[in-house]
Chain A
Amino acid sequence: MATDPELLSLKVDYKWNPMLPWPFQIRRVKHETEDTFTIELQPLGALEEFAYQPGQFNMLYVYGVGEIPISISGDPANPRVLVHTTRAVGTVTKAMDKMKRGDILGIRGPYGTPWPIDQANGSDVVFVAGGIGLAPLRPALYEVVAHRELYGKVVLLYGTRTPLDVLFRQELENWRARFDLEIYVTVDRAMTGWRGNVGVVTNLIPRAPFDPRNTMAFVCGPEIMMRFTAMELHKRGVDNEHIFVSMERNMKCAIGLCGHCQFGSVFVCKDGPVFRYSEIKEMLVKWEI
């Protein structure tokens, strides 16, 4: 096998070396719940805007600590502010949680496939979020809400652990107040005082107001939740081709070169993280793939 000579012509553009992080400054850190926080960043230096598509992620580098992938949770219509929401669970996110306004983070991105919102034109849109999975869906929600007239019914089904773990509370309230959005929140467990639903998010699917024959569903949450959600959506009559899920795997490089995020034959970092459910359905039930 010979290598195409074209491959060997030197093309490195050092300014945009995909392995080097760009400095961003923290404008605000907001604690959403006991273990989740949102950071707002702005680019430094020559970069003024950071354009991305809903569903894409960045690699975030904390000086000397490490680098991790986190989905973008902001409004794509405002590329001057980069927003990430995450849980403080690992070394890097815990270090990030302690950072303050003015601190510098390194950012590489945006990477990965977006939610194919354009494919939802003219149909009902159902967002199903589980736990922190609401964060990667929020940019898509912003976009759909901003162009509300393009879609039929717009429904968000959001399941999380307890009432105290509900993310973006104020925003959910604002959306709930609109007549053109259907927002349903459910929790796994609650004490009295919680007037919302208790039960798993899949319980909301059979009666949610959408037309399954004309629906695009965007699902993000723990893998188990996404599997059961996709099954329930399919039972309701949504075509597997119209269901999209966002996968998580170990990522080190985010550009398809380090091999860590392989899931069967795909690289989650560059072929995903957003996949058509019908394309990965079989792999999702294979053990330890």
Chain B
Amino acid sequence: MSRVHEREHPMEDLKNILAEHPFFSGLNEEYFALIVGCASNMRIDAGKIIHREGEEANHFYLIRSGKVTLQMMTPNKGPLIIETLTEGDILGWSWLVPPYTWHFDAKALDLTRMIALDGKCLRTKCENDHHLGYELLKRFADIMMKRLESTRLQLMDIYGDRP
């Protein structure tokens, strides 16, 4: 594993970073504290893999800086880049849905700093507290909708010969 969990940031800093992110806006204090408890800082060097297709998906990430590519291996054309994610984007929702395995490779294109959130821990908490589960699902549904919309536009191949 090439990822390095950084310990230099005290918990207070992490809390501030998360609080400012739109993804968590409107979340109540109790749940927010719980999320902060599941968070840790990460630094990934350029060119390193964050996770690979088929691996167990136990985290999601909030990208603070850098650039991550979601890619898929093709047997004859090499890796195909599906999407790039940058500062402010959320990476990964496979931790939320069984069988909890990654569907794409994620690779740091540049030096990337992220906050990793422990999905395994959050899953259990969501099962026990459906209000928390709903709060998180709403937020992921929004991301999924946007990704689906972009994917549809990409699929239309609007710049192609026969759109």
Instruction: Please state if B79 and A200 are interface contacts (CB–CB under 8 Å).
Output: no
CB proximity to B under 8 Å, residues A149-189: 159-161, 165, 186, 188-189
Stretch with Cβ within 8 A of B (4 or more), from A5-13, A191-199, A277-285: A191-199
Known contacts A191-B78, A192-B79, A222-B163; is-contact A199 B157 (Cβ 8 Å): no
Instruction: Please state if A189 and B154 are interface contacts (CB–CB under 8 Å).
Output: yes
Indicate with 1 or 0, residue by residue over B149-160, a CB within 8 angstroms of chain A CB atoms.
110011011111
Main secondary structure of the interface of B (DSSP, over half): mixed
Instruction: Please state if A192 and B78 are interface contacts (CB–CB under 8 Å).
Output: yes
Residue ID in chain B nearest A188 by CB atoms:
B154
Indicate with 1 or 0, residue by residue over A211-230, a CB within 8 angstroms of chain B CB atoms.
00000000001101100100
Residue ID in chain A nearest B150 by CB atoms:
A200
* Residues of chain A contacted by B149 (CB below 8 angstroms): 228
Instruction: Please state if A197 and B84 are interface contacts (CB–CB under 8 Å).
Output: yes
Q: Does A207 contact B (CB under 8 A)?
A: yes
Instruction: Please state if B153 and A202 are interface contacts (CB–CB under 8 Å).
Output: yes
Indicate with 1 or 0, residue by residue over B128-157, a CB within 8 angstroms of chain A CB atoms.
000000000000000000100110011011
Q: Does B6 contact A (CB under 8 A)?
A: no
Q: Say which residue of B87, B146, B156 sits within 8 Å of A224 (CB atoms).
A: B156
Q: Say which residue of B87, B150, B161 sits within 8 Å of A199 (CB atoms).
A: B150
Known contacts A191-B78, A192-B78, A207-B88; is-contact A199 B83 (Cβ 8 Å): yes
Q: Say which residue of A89, A192, A207 sits within 8 Å of B71 (CB atoms).
A: A192
How many Cβ-Cβ contacts under 8 Å join chain A to chain B?
72
Q: Does A190 contact B (CB under 8 A)?
A: yes
Q: Does A130 contact B (CB under 8 A)?
A: yes
A158 to chain B, nearest CB (A): 11
B162 to chain A, nearest CB (A): 10
Instruction: Please state if A161 and B160 are interface contacts (CB–CB under 8 Å).
Output: yes
Indicate with 1 or 0, residue by residue over B64-92, a CB within 8 angstroms of chain A CB atoms.
00010101000001111111101110000
B71 to chain A, nearest CB (A): 7
Known contacts A189-B154, A202-B150; is-contact A160 B78 (Cβ 8 Å): no
In angstroms, Cα B67 to Cα A200, docked, is 16
Known contacts A130-B159, A131-B158; is-contact A228 B153 (Cβ 8 Å): yes
Residue ID in chain B nearest A35 by CB atoms:
B161
16 residue pairs bridging A and B, Cβ less than 8 Å apart: A131-B159, A159-B159, A189-B81, A189-B154, A191-B80, A192-B69, A196-B84, A197-B84, A199-B150, A200-B150, A206-B88, A207-B86, A207-B87, A224-B156, A228-B149, A228-B153
- Please give me the 10 A-B residue pairs with the lowest Cβ-Cβ distance, nearest first: A131-B159, A161-B159, A222-B158, A198-B81, A190-B81, A200-B150, A198-B84, A188-B154, A200-B153, A197-B84
